[in-house]
Homo-oligomer: A and B are copies of this chain.
Amino acid sequence: MRVGDTHYRTLWPREERSPVLQIIDQRQLPHHFVVADLRDISDTARAIRDMYVRGAGLIGATAAYGMYQAASAGMDLQEAGNLLTATRPTAMNLQWAVARMQAAATEGKDLYTEAMAIADEDADWCRRIGEHGAPLLEAIAARRSGPVNILTHCNAGWLAFVDHGSATAPIYRAHDAGIDVHVWVDETRPRNQGAQLTMWELMEHGVPCTLITDNAGGHLMQHGQVDICLVGSDRTTRAGDVGNKIGTYLKALAAGDNDVPFYAAMPSSTIDWSISDGVAGIPIEQRDNDEVLRARGLLDDDIVEPLLAPSGAKAANYAFDVTPSRLVTGIITERGISDAGEDGFAALFPERFEN
């Protein structure tokens, strides 16, 4: 997508077959645009854990390249996979990409080609999510005047994937087609991916957007100021329970209480076909409490992290929550939109429901 006048993806090899992966260091956004080199699997694992890169598809594509780095260095791929999957326990695409690279190695495939294919597929699947999702926004635009008001949480934008994004793909596509869209962007504490990443990428692309606190969405929905909620997912069960950034569940409840359609968008690589009950089954990552006790921002050209709470305060930092499928209007995948539930998925992904 656009950064100024240049088209970027979120990761690329320094050169053809290089073990060095180049990424946008998302910890510096929106204040500084910095490209970082990940020279080996240790760099790559640290970049995933410390969130230089984050987001469902991008974690997967980065991990796939990490497996190529490991293979290039002669490292055991079981060990490499364990190293990578431990970094972000909720992320389904991480497990998926590691397993696919291990299978490719077993089948004797070229791992550079496989890692590149994973990245290209991610971009293509997100592009198709945009094709399937944009008509939802066009339908709202067609039935009344004024902008289509979309609420999103966290960053399920192109920065969370290789390109296009999941929740943002329909937004970019509708915007580019001339539909009048406006996005309410939840800031998404504690790491503020909404304030820092979603706002940045929407502004770079010229999509009208307004930053709100995570507390505000319910009030907006009560007052008719949200037409549709569009979020991403980090892991979705075969029954349609949506694991996503902490706080998503609260917005789904408000959408349900106010008859606002609530859609989750994701490539099928985010779906965990092995579990049904998301609240019981999706592992919820707990991160450093300092993320809650502090906030990161720009002060006089420096990125600083002042302390918000009393010195010595205890905190807890659950990074994800689960929205039960009953609260999800539909799931937008690369194959189309399905109801949230086994029947919906079985229609789109019949190969997952055989035997």
A interface, CB within 8 angstroms of B? 30-31, 184, 187-190, 192, 195-196, 199-200, 203, 209-220, 222-223, 245-247, 249-251, 253-254, 257, 279, 284, 292-299, 303-318, 320-322
Contact = CB atoms under 8 A, between A and B. Distances in A.
A34 to B, nearest CB: 15
A104 to B, nearest CB: 36
B310 A203 contact: yes
A225 to B, nearest CB: 9
A39 B298 CA distance: 36
Contacts of A188: 215
A243 to B, nearest CB: 10
Number of copies: 2
B189 A246 contact: no
Contact of A215 (B189, B195, B222, B279): B189
B295 A295 contact: yes
A41 to B, nearest CB: 32
A287 to B, nearest CB: 11
Given A30-B309, A31-B307, A212-B315, 14 more contacts: A184-B316, A189-B213, A199-B310, A200-B310, A211-B309, A215-B246, A217-B250, A219-B249, A219-B318, A219-B320, A249-B254, A295-B297, A298-B306, A299-B304
Nearest to A200: B310
Contacts of A199: 309-310, 313
